[in-house]
Amino acid sequence: MTFTRRVVSGTSQLTFSNGVVRLLAIVTMPILTGLLSPHAYGVAALAGTIISLASVLALAGMDTSYLRAYHSAQPPNSADAEHFCWRFTISSALPTGALAALAWYFLAGDSVDQDRGLAILVAMGVVFSVVSTMAQVRALLAGRHRAMAVSIVISGVIGAAASIGIALWRQDALALLIPLVLGYLIPVLLLGTPPIFGLTKRSDLTWDEGAAIVKIGLAGIVTAPMYWLLSSSDRWFLQHYDGAESVGIYSIGYSVAIIGMMVNTAVMTVWQPEAAREYEEDRARAPGTLGKLMSRLVVAMAIIWLAATAAGGDIVRWLANERFHAAAGYVPYIAGGVFFYGLLRLANTGLLLAKQLQWSAFWWLLGGLVCLVLNLLLVPRYGGMGAAVTQSISFAFIAVGIFATAQTKFRILLDWGRLAAVMLVVLAAGAFLERPWHAAPFFSLLMKLPIGIAVAVIVTWMTAPDWCAKAVDHLRRRVFR
């Protein structure tokens, strides 16, 4: 398979599986928001932010090192690199999980009404999250996209069923946190890990070789807490100024708005190792092939932003309990943050291939400062809306900075004129479709649907006329065969 076919095939499978999981979350929303209070959602969201922060700190960018080193033409690579990366992450996940549990135990007493008993779930969440990430990278490097897709769907189904079952039994944060932990554990069980006995043995790499692997993803030590600051700290600002109920309402808007994350996750899961492989195979050809496909992936992310912006508010008003309807206004801005996060991950490719990820860390640090200042200024005055706007602006700032820097380190050939035209069309359509068109959310969605489809077709044709021509030709031959 060609580079493009490998990326598109893997991305399609993972996008479909993530889409199934998002659909399950939307389908179960009326049941769970009817059974659980905004406070329960708020507590679960805050615990989730602790798990998220501790997990990325424990990984310390080792998942990136694993991806880049495994297919490297120069040693250390292959099995030696894999063994080192797994030992490193497991050794860091266990103590980090314990520290996260202690942090939750002592924070919970003052912040979230004595929910200290959730500390054990926080610890388990951290460990399983780290191991799950490494198991997925391992499957990815082996090209097991279908197995990954199946594990995602199974995790989503079990998690949805567990949420409803626990919520019928008790109406607190356990109904959301236990399924979260199961969502990390199940992929590990299905995808597998390297032999545990083998991981107990010391690595055969020298100190310098191990340091070289760590150095590749070392920027993750900076970018990980900055990502948490941008994507999760807003809940703690809302908790401080407005309380857990405000966090719970915000989390519903967030759960709808991050529909774009399923595409971002699928794209980056497949893109990074395939981009590294393409670069290693032919460094002269790589700027052109990477640029052509990257442009199309950016447009795909923009279309997903448009879908979330047009439909997100209506979905909240239609499916969520009326106690959560204020979240509808947050959706376009959170979705904007998701788009810019996907953009910066694509832009980071140039720095990854050039092995100069320290520049990524620099822009994440600046972006974290911007995020902190905006949260302090906007959340006390505008609440959830201020938090949502902060996310969008902060991620946009980092994306622009990384894109500009990466192009100076490894220039990827992009059609900037066409990209700019497409972005303007999508932005104008988003402004037009964002507000409800009918008092009944379902009819509002139906009224917007034809225009959304038309815009998506137009921008796709503008970006990838060759793909569209092939699709039309294929349909014509199938219809008239």
Provide φ and ψ at 413, rounded to 5°. -80, 110
Confidence of residue 390 (pLDDT cuts 50, 70, 90): very high
Sign of the torsion angle spanned by Cα atoms 408, 411, 417, 422:
negative
Residue 360: its pLDDT value, please? 83
Confidence of residue 255 (pLDDT cuts 50, 70, 90): confident
Confidence of residue 126 (pLDDT cuts 50, 70, 90): very high
Smallest Cα–Cα separation from 41: which of 248, 306, 334? Answer: 248
Provide φ and ψ at 357, rounded to 5°. -70, -5
Smallest Cα–Cα separation from 175: which of 47, 316, 315? Answer: 47
Residue 263: its pLDDT value, please? 73
pLDDT over threshold 80, residue 200: no
The region, left, alpha or beta by phi > 0 then psi within -120 to 50, assigned to residue 168 is alpha
How many CB atoms are closer than 10 A to CB 92? 16
Question: What does the alpha-carbon distance between residue 411 and residue 145 come to, in Å, rounded to a whole number?
Answer: 29
pLDDT over threshold 60, residue 111: no
Smallest Cα–Cα separation from 395: which of 457, 445, 333? Answer: 333
Residue 427: its pLDDT value, please? 92
- Give CB contacts under 8 A, 24+ apart, made by 414-421: 414/291, 414/294, 414/295, 415/291, 415/295, 418/295, 418/462, 418/463, 419/295, 419/298, 419/299, 419/463, 421/462
Provide φ and ψ at 86, rounded to 5°. -65, -45
Smallest Cα–Cα separation from 428: which of 404, 395, 451? Answer: 451
DSSP one-letter code for 411: -
Question: What does the alpha-carbon distance between residue 261 and residue 448 come to, in Å, rounded to a whole number?
Answer: 22
pLDDT over threshold 70, residue 240: yes
Confidence of residue 112 (pLDDT cuts 50, 70, 90): low
pLDDT over threshold 70, residue 109: no
Confidence of residue 2 (pLDDT cuts 50, 70, 90): low
pLDDT over threshold 90, residue 10: no
Instruction: Please list, in sequence order, all residues whose beta carbon lies within 8 angstroms of the beta carbon of residue 353, skipping any fewer than 6 positions away.
Output: 275, 276, 279, 286, 410
Residue 354: its pLDDT value, please? 76
Q: What is the average pLDDT across 144-167?
A: 88
Residue 470: its pLDDT value, please? 80
pLDDT over threshold 80, residue 257: yes
Task: Give the range among 137-151, 196-210, 392-406 with minimum mean pLDDT.
Answer: 196-210
What is the average pLDDT score of the chain? 83
Helix (H, G, I), strand (E, B) or coil at 315: helix
Residue 401: its pLDDT value, please? 92
Question: What does the alpha-carbon distance between residue 229 and residue 48 come to, in Å, rounded to a whole number?
Answer: 13
pLDDT over threshold 60, residue 374: yes
Question: What does the alpha-carbon distance between residue 330 and residue 369 come to, in Å, rounded to a whole number?
Answer: 22
Question: What does the alpha-carbon distance between residue 213 and residue 127 come to, in Å, rounded to a whole number?
Answer: 22
Instruction: Please list, in sequence order, all residues whose beta carbon lies within 8 angstroms of the beta carbon of residue 422, skipping any fewer than 6 positions away.
Output: 299, 302, 459, 462, 463
Confidence of residue 192 (pLDDT cuts 50, 70, 90): confident
